[in-house]
Every structure is written in C-alpha cells, then in structure tokens.
Amino acid sequence: MLPSDAGRVLEDIAFDLISSSNALAGQIHPIVTESVGNLVRSMNCYYSNLMEGHDTHPRDIDRALHKDYSTEPRKRALQLEAVAHIEVQKAIDDSLDPKDFPASSAYAIWLHREFCRRLPDELLWVEDPETKRRIRLTPGALRDGEVVVGLHLPPPAAALPGFLKRFEQVYSPQSLSKVRQVTAVAAAHHRFLWIHPFYDGNGRVARLMSHALLRRLGVGNSLWSVARGLARNVGDYKSLLMAADASRRGDLDGRGNLSQAALDSFCEFLLRVSNDQVSYMSTILQPSELLRRMEIYVEDETRAGRLPKGSFPLLREALLAGEFERGLAPSLTGYKERMARTVVSKLLDAGLLVSPSHVARLRLGFPLPVVERWFPALYPSASYRFYA
C-alpha cells in the first residue's frame, strides 16, 4: 500500500517537489496566479480528456466555458465533459470541496458524483466488453457488479467497502510524516485504480484525487498539473500502472500480495513527472522571461496593426502589480487620457486585459491566441491549429 522505506530516492524526489512547488507559488503575483490557474485548469482538462481518448481542442474548451456549444452532438458532449472537469477542479482549487481527506471513499464518491452529474446522458453509458451489456453510470455510486480491466481483475463489488476502508486507513495523514504523505500520493493513485470502485471514471477520479491530495499537503497549487506530464508520457504511465498490478515476485519483493518493487517504480515515475511539470511552469512563468515573450508578441502585433502602441507598459504593469487602476493608464503609456483610454479599450477587446466592470481595476488576461507565444509547449503543437 505504501512505497518502501529502502533507499532515499523517493524521499529526495519528494523534498525537491515540496521546495520547487513552494518556489513556484511565490514566483508571480497572487492575482496573476488566479488568472494563470484558469488557464492551467483548461490545460489539465485537455490532457485528462486526451488520456480518456477524447481529443477536445483547446478552442472548443474555451468556447464551452463561454457557453458556446457545438451543434454537432459528439463535439457538444465532449465540451460538456471538459466543463465538468474544469468546474470540479475549480471547486478543489477554491477549497469548496468536502473536508474529508482526499484519499477516502467519501471524497472519491464526491468527485465521481460532481463530475458525472454534469455529463450529458450519452457519456454516462458503458459497455461490458465480454457480455456487451450496457450499464448506465449513477453519479457517485460504487459498482455493484464485476469488471475486468485489461489483464487485471479488480476486487468483487461486495468487497469494495472493505478495500476502501483499508485505503482510507493507510493513507490517513495522521499516521505518516509530511514526506511520506507526498510519496503516498503516488501509491494511492495506483491503489485506487487497482480497486476500481466505479464502473467508469476511475482514471479521472484518480487524477483529480492526486491533485486534491497535493493541494491539501501544501505541495500542489493551481499553477501546475500532473495530468500534462502523464499525458505526455502516457506509454510509461500505462505500462507502470499495469506492472504495479502484478503479484509479489518472491520473498524480497515486499510483504503484501502485490509487487513492492513495481509500486516503488510507479511512485518514482509519478513524482518525477510532477517535478518535471513544476520545473516547466517555473521556467515559463519566470517574470523576466515571460515579460520578454510578451514584449516580442506585442511588438509583432503592433507592427501588424492589431494592437496600438503603448500596449506593453499596461500589460507589464498588470503582470508585476497584479492589477492597476484605469486612471494610471495615461502615466503608464505616456499618452493623454483619451488616447490612453483607447489603448485600454483595445486590450480589453483582445482579452489581454480583463475587468469585472467598466470602472474596476484591470488585470492581465490570457486569451487563447496568446497561449502559444506566452506559454510555449503548454499544449501539443498540433492543437494550435484551433487559431485558424
């Protein structure tokens, strides 16, 4: 159930993750963090959908968030699925989730219920690959029948309460040190999937559970997502998950029924992927480098006549200060009030500045057309065809 105590590899990786994640959280202004968090949730949703075999383009996700749904039934269903994921993760990020510890049956049921109740009916049906019987998912309901997942035969439905009770006991934070809690996140991810408590949606719940666990431990935040790393290494992810399903390989492979060595390998993989994602976001959110990419973008757009001169000082102020009063626009741009208002208006129209009202302070926006330029490699390059 837990990674082994042998060696310092996992402990060292966990320490690195704790320190690097804390450094990332302090890298940009808290108000900007909120805006970047919205972007990262969409990215997380994109990659999580991708691992379910659902390639929902960022453009379609963005449209769905603005209630602009496709008339094509399948595409609309996937848009609703994307919104469901984003809304549930936002509840986690905003601390609107249950007070139960995330590695618990109550929390898992909440995740499954909140996600599935937002889905259209056509995405709530699964088919038994052997009997071809169609089963309709009940949001938040544990399965009441048997399933086969590849070569893995999960516990029978009648045994689920016992397995989930043991799951809660082992991963309870009261019995583990802070570092062990971090390494246990990876172990809980696999063991939850091994139990497979729902007919469908277990992978989605496991990824959201891991995100919630890391946040509760003060390691995760809205600026990075392990889902991106898992999707970009999906072959290793799936093969290591399958390997960790294997039985114990002799007296030197732990004391439980399942392979300790295989679990350790999966835990190391997930923690290294997490570190890699924090490192990636730290690089692209480094203020000096982000400002450089923003300035190059603004220069290009100004030459093309799509943005007015004087745009960059306003965007720079929004990044560094988090927000600013509209009355500062003339001094920041060097223009008289009327021209400064025109620049602000153009930036608002482009979504590069945002504000809840026509008199409220201005904040930095991250519209999709700037994502590739400001946050390179956030999405796979092929997905950027949505700009056309």
**Tokens standing for residue 363:** 């904040």
Determine which of 2-11, 31-40, 78-87, 350-359 has the lowest per-residue pLDDT on average: 2-11
Q: What are the tens digits of pLDDT across the range 51-87?
A: 998 988 999 999 999 999 999 999 999 999 999 999 9
| Separation CA 319–CA 339 (nearest Å) | 22
Question: What local confidence, expressed as pLDDT, does residue 8 receive?
Answer: 84
**Tokens standing for residue 167:** 């799951």
Question: What local confidence, expressed as pLDDT, does residue 386 receive?
Answer: 44
DSSP state of 366: -
Mean pLDDT of 176-191: 94
Question: What local confidence, expressed as pLDDT, does residue 383 receive?
Answer: 58
**Tokens standing for residue 190:** 């696999």
The residue written with tokens 């510890």 in the block is 101
Q: Is the pLDDT of residue 7 over 70?
A: no
Q: How confident is the model at residue 39 (pLDDT cuts 50, 70, 90)?
A: very high
Question: What local confidence, expressed as pLDDT, does residue 6 receive?
Answer: 61
Please give the mean pLDDT across all residues of the chain.
Answer: 93
Q: What share of the chain is helix, strand, coil (3-state, %, to 5)?
A: 60, 5, 35
Q: Domains in the chain, start-ordered, CATH in brackets?
A: 9-284 (1.10.3290.10), 287-387 (1.10.10)
Question: What local confidence, expressed as pLDDT, does residue 311 receive?
Answer: 98
User: Would you put residue 149 in left (φ > 0), alpha (ψ -120 to 50) or beta?
Assistant: beta
Question: What local confidence, expressed as pLDDT, does residue 388 receive?
Answer: 38
**Tokens standing for residue 55:** 């390639």
Q: Please give the share of the chain, as a percent, with pLDDT higher than 90.
A: 87
Looking only at the bridges linking them, the beta strands covering 362-364 and 353-354 are: antiparallel
DSSP state of 52: T
- Residue 366: which residues within 8 A CB-CB, separation 6 or more? 35, 36, 38, 39, 351, 374, 375
Question: What local confidence, expressed as pLDDT, does residue 65 receive?
Answer: 94
Q: What are the tens digits of pLDDT across the range 117-154?
A: 999 999 999 987 777 889 999 999 999 999 999 889 99
| Separation CA 78–CA 54 (nearest Å) | 7
Q: What are the tens digits of pLDDT across the range 330-355?
A: 999 999 999 999 999 999 999 999 99
Q: How confident is the model at residue 387 (pLDDT cuts 50, 70, 90)?
A: very low
Question: What local confidence, expressed as pLDDT, does residue 251 receive?
Answer: 79
Q: What are the tens digits of pLDDT across the range 206-262?
A: 999 999 999 999 998 899 989 999 999 999 999 999 999 999 888 777 778 899 999
